[in-house]
Chain A
Amino acid sequence: MVKESFSIRGVEFKNRVLAASGTFGYGDEVKDLVDVNRLGGICTKSLSWKPREGNPPRRIVETPSGMLNSIGLANVGVHHFINEKLPYLRTLDTTIIANIAASSVQEYCDVLSLLEQQEGIHGYEINVSCPNVTEGGLNFGTDCSKTEEITVRLRPLTNKPLIIKLTPNVTHISEFARAVEDAGADAVSVINTLIGMAVDIRTKKPRLSTVTGGLSGPAIKPIALAKVYEVAQSVHIPILGIGGIMTTEDAIEFLLVGATAVQVGTANFIDPTAGVKIAEGLRAHAEQNGLQDVGQLVGALESHVAFSVIQSWL
Chain B
Amino acid sequence: MMLQRIVPVTFREEIAENVFVLRFECNEIVCSASPGQFVNIRCGDACLPLLRRPFSISRVLGDEVELLFNVVGQGTRMLAGKRVGDSLDVLGPLGLPFNFGADFKTGLIVAGGVGVAPFPFLTSVLRKKGKRIVTFLGARTASQLAPTHLDDIHLATDDGTKGYHGTVVDLLRSYLDQHRVESPRLFGCGPTNMLKALTNVAQEMNIECELSLEGDMACGIGLCQGCPVERTKGERKYALVCVEGPTFNSKDILIP
Q: B29-54 CB contact bits vs A (8 Å, 1 = yes)?
A: 00000000000001000011111100
Residue of B nearest to A23 (CB): B223
Interfacial chain A residues near B1, Cβ < 8 Å: 32
Interfacial chain B residues near A200, Cβ < 8 Å: none
Residue of A nearest to B4 (CB): A33
* Pair A71/B47 contact, Cβ less than 8 Å: no
* Pair B4/A270 contact, Cβ less than 8 Å: no
- Given the interface pairs A29-B222, A33-B2, A59-B216, the reply to whether A270 lies near B42 with Cβ below 8 Å is yes
The docked-state distance in angstroms from the alpha carbon of A271 to that of B256 is 30
- Given the interface pairs A53-B236, A53-B238, A218-B47, the reply to whether A60 lies near B226 with Cβ below 8 Å is yes
Interfacial chain A residues near B221, Cβ < 8 Å: 29-30, 33, 272
Q: Which of A222-274 contact B (CB under 8 A)?
A: 246, 266, 268-273
Query: How many contacts between A and B, using CB within 8 angstroms?
Result: 99
Interfacial chain A residues near B50, Cβ < 8 Å: 62, 65-67, 217-218, 266, 270
- Given the interface pairs A23-B224, A53-B237, A57-B256, the reply to whether A268 lies near B219 with Cβ below 8 Å is yes
B228 part of interface (Cβ distance < 8 Å): yes
Q: A55-91 CB contact bits vs B (8 Å, 1 = yes)?
A: 0111111101111010100100000000000000000
* Pair B216/A58 contact, Cβ less than 8 Å: yes
Interfacial chain A residues near B243, Cβ < 8 Å: 29
B229 part of interface (Cβ distance < 8 Å): yes
* Pair A270/B52 contact, Cβ less than 8 Å: yes
- Which of B49, B225, B228 lies at the interface centre, i.e. has the most chain A CB atoms within 10 A of its CB? B225
Interfacial chain A residues near B91, Cβ < 8 Å: 33
Q: How many residues of B contact A (CB 8 A)?
A: 33
* Pair A65/B47 contact, Cβ less than 8 Å: yes
Interface size, A (range)? 35 or more
Q: Which of B208-225 contact A (CB under 8 A)?
A: 215-219, 221-225
Contact of A30 among B47, B223, B238 (CB under 8 A): B223
Minimum CB–CB distance for B8 against chain A, Å:
19
B67 part of interface (Cβ distance < 8 Å): no
B207 part of interface (Cβ distance < 8 Å): no
A299 part of interface (Cβ distance < 8 Å): no
A24 part of interface (Cβ distance < 8 Å): yes
The docked-state distance in angstroms from the alpha carbon of A51 to that of B224 is 16
The docked-state distance in angstroms from the alpha carbon of A290 to that of B16 is 58
Interfacial chain A residues near B114, Cβ < 8 Å: none
A196 part of interface (Cβ distance < 8 Å): no
The docked-state distance in angstroms from the alpha carbon of A59 to that of B47 is 20
Interfacial chain A residues near B2, Cβ < 8 Å: 32-33
Interfacial chain A residues near B89, Cβ < 8 Å: 271
- Given the interface pairs A67-B50, A69-B218, the reply to whether A57 lies near B223 with Cβ below 8 Å is no
B227 part of interface (Cβ distance < 8 Å): yes
The docked-state distance in angstroms from the alpha carbon of A51 to that of B238 is 12
Minimum CB–CB distance for A250 against chain B, Å:
11
A25 part of interface (Cβ distance < 8 Å): yes
A residues adjacent to B (C-beta < 8 A): 22-25, 29-30, 32-33, 45, 51, 53-54, 56-62, 64-67, 69, 71, 74, 217-218, 246, 266, 268-273
Top 7 closest A-B pairs, CB basis?
A: A60-B226, A269-B219, A65-B47, A269-B218, A53-B237, A60-B216, A74-B225
Residue pairs across A and B with Cβ atoms less than 8 A apart, 20 shown, are A23-B223, A29-B221, A29-B243, A30-B223, A54-B225, A56-B228, A57-B256, A60-B216, A60-B227, A62-B51, A65-B48, A69-B226, A71-B225, A218-B50, A266-B50, A269-B224, A270-B51, A270-B219, A272-B219, A273-B4
